[in-house]
């Protein structure tokens, strides 16, 4: 009987030596548990970039179009005129970067350019406008072309900017309105320009008559249109009120 018990005990000891258990001979700690699983679970996962080139702002503002455009604009103000031109020519440039490059051109370099260089920029701006589908780039180019050649581009570009005021993106809407106000501010209150703005807004408002009939107080977008409309009527005369829809008169 003792011999059988000894053989049984030896068998248990041999099993322990071959398959060590957690409670027999080693102690598992939280650190030892996590060290093995963490390295396996993180394998193949790329590191998080803290300063991504495409979104240079904090993660809280990564989807703020206005702040992205402002951020790129401030960065590009240090670039030379030649680099800005190359950026405008680059069709692979992202919409935020392209829009910021056009804005820097208008705000920093446009007034200093000789006529020959203005024509070069004009050529590439028109080329970019025909190829881009970004509303941010479109608004910036429309705005800039009006300053490159106001007489030539006011008629086609200002109505296009007025259309952008109804864009679903609030940043595009705001950019278009600010562009129009800037164009008006830097003009000479010409009747020709006032007529273009008045006729465009009149068409837009006539198409919205049914919706306007149910509005008691104009919202921000409609108020912006009324602000432009009042400016044009101030230049053209109060008789223009007769050609507006009655729904507009009630709201104004």
Residue 174 has pLDDT above 90, yes or no: yes
Average of per-residue pLDDT values in the chain: 81
Assigned domain for 35 exists? no
Residue pair 148/122 in contact (Cβ under 8 Å)? The answer is yes
Residue 203 has pLDDT above 50, yes or no: yes
Confidence of residue 15 (pLDDT cuts 50, 70, 90): low
Assigned domain for 117 exists? yes
Residue pair 180/161 in contact (Cβ under 8 Å)? The answer is yes
Which stretch of 37-41, 188-192, 199-203 has the lowest confidence by average pLDDT?
A: 37-41
pLDDT tens sequence across 141-162: 999 999 999 999 999 999 999 9
Mean pLDDT of 101-125: 94
pLDDT at 38: 40
Assigned domain for 171 exists? no
Residue pair 248/212 in contact (Cβ under 8 Å)? The answer is yes
Count up the domains in the chain and report the number: 1
Assigned domain for 240 exists? no
pLDDT tens sequence across 25-69: 444 343 444 444 443 434 333 333 233 444 444 444 446 899 999
Residue 116 has pLDDT above 80, yes or no: yes
pLDDT at 3: 52
pLDDT at 35: 42
Assigned domain for 39 exists? no
Assigned domain for 54 exists? no
Domain interval for residue 100: 61-154
Assigned domain for 208 exists? no
- Write down the pTM of the prediction: 0.74
pLDDT at 72: 96
Assigned domain for 13 exists? no
What residues have CB less than 8 Å from 176, skipping those under 6 apart? 139, 161, 162, 164, 165, 167
Residue pair 77/115 in contact (Cβ under 8 Å)? The answer is no
């Amino acid at each position: 009987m003792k011999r059988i018990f000894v053989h049984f005990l030896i068998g248990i000891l041999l099993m322990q030596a071959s398959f060590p258990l957690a409670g027999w001979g080693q102690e598992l700690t939280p650190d030892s548990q996590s060290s093995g699983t963490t390295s396996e679970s993180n394998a193949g996962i790329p590191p998080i970039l803290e300063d991504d080139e495409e979104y240079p702002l904090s993660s809280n503002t990564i989807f703020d179009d206005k702040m992205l455009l402002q951020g790129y604009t401030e960065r590009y103000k240090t670039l030379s005129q030649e680099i800005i031109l190359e950026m405008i020519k680059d069709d692979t440039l992202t919409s935020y970067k392209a829009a910021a490059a056009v804005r820097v051109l208008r705000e920093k370099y446009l007034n200093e350019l000789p006529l020959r260089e203005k024509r070069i920029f004009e050529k590439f701006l028109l080329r970019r406008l025909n190829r881009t589908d970004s509303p941010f780039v479109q608004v910036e180019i429309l705005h800039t072309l009006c300053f490159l050649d106001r007489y030539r581009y006011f008629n086609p570009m200002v109505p296009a900017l007025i259309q952008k005021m109804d864009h679903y993106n609030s940043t595009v809407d705001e950019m278009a309105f600010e562009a129009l106000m800037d164009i008006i501010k830097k003009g000479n209150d010409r009747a020709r320009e006032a007529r273009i703005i008045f006729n465009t807004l009149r068409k837009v408002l006539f198409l919205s008559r049914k919706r306007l009939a149910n509005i008691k107080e104009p919202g921000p977008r409609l108020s912006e249109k009324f602000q432009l409309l009042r400016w044009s009527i101030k230049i053209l005369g109060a008789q223009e009120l007769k050609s507006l829809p009655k729904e507009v008169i009630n709201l104004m």
